[in-house]
Structure 1
Amino acid sequence: MAHDEPAAGPARITLIGKPGCHLCDDARAVIASVAAELGVGWEERSIADDPALAEEYWEQIPVTLVDGRQHDYWRVDPARLRQALGA
């Protein structure tokens, strides 16, 4: 599911989580806020829908990727995310 992708390109942030995950809800709020502030697109993927993601990340969700590389897991620090995005 994509969120507010800019016309200039694909999402730079990916949130990997699952339904009913309270840490995922917290991460989503931070990501949405930082992405809106910086004008960066983001997407969300669920381990419930993708067996490969489930195998790789099930113990770490929520997992945040920036430009396709793992950035963080469990919690998202807004300042650290801004820095990873070059802000």
Structure 2
Amino acid sequence: MTDARVPMVTFLGKPGCHLCEQAEPVVREVTARHGAALSVLSILDDEALQRQYGELIPVVLVDGVQHSQWFVEAERLDVALAAAART
């Protein structure tokens, strides 16, 4: 049996974004429960991210692939991280 891999979750938001403020605690809780790595980035710190995701935040990426935008469903993220850990 092989060890489960550690998925990488990236949370993209910006200060003052009310949807980001609601979503970030959900992402932090779910990633902690799964032992996933978490990177929290502000799109204001990166022009490329701002151009790509400016109106879509918050955005959650799992292993570099967009998982969600605007709203984060804990159950859906749970399923995605469980699946990512098995790949």
> Shorter-chain-normalised TM-score: which range?
0.7 to 0.9
Amino acid at match of 1:60: L
Alignment of 1:85 with 2:81, yes or no, is yes
Q: Higher helix fraction: Structure 1 or Structure 2?
A: 2
Query: In structure 1, the residue corresponding to 2:48 is in which secondary structure?
Result: helix
Deviation digits for residues 16-75 of structure 1 (CA, Å, limit 9, x no counterpart):
111111111111100111011111110111111100000000010000000000000001
Alignment partner, residue 58 of structure 2? 62
Moved over 3 A (4+): none
CA separation in 2, counterparts of 1:15 and 1:37?
Answer: 16
Alignment pair present for 1:12 and 2:16? no
Answer 1 or 2: higher relative contact order, Cα 8 Å, separation at least 6. 2
Q: Distance in 2 between matches of 1:36 and 1:44?
A: 13
RMSD, aligned CA: 1.5
SS at match of 1:61: coil
The 1-side partners of 2:37 and 2:18 are apart by 22
The residue that corresponds to 1:33 in the other structure is 29
When the two structures are aligned, how many residues end up with a matched partner? 79
1:79 maps to a residue whose letter is E
Higher gyration radius (CA): 2
CA distance in 2 between partners of 1:82 and 1:47 (Å): 24
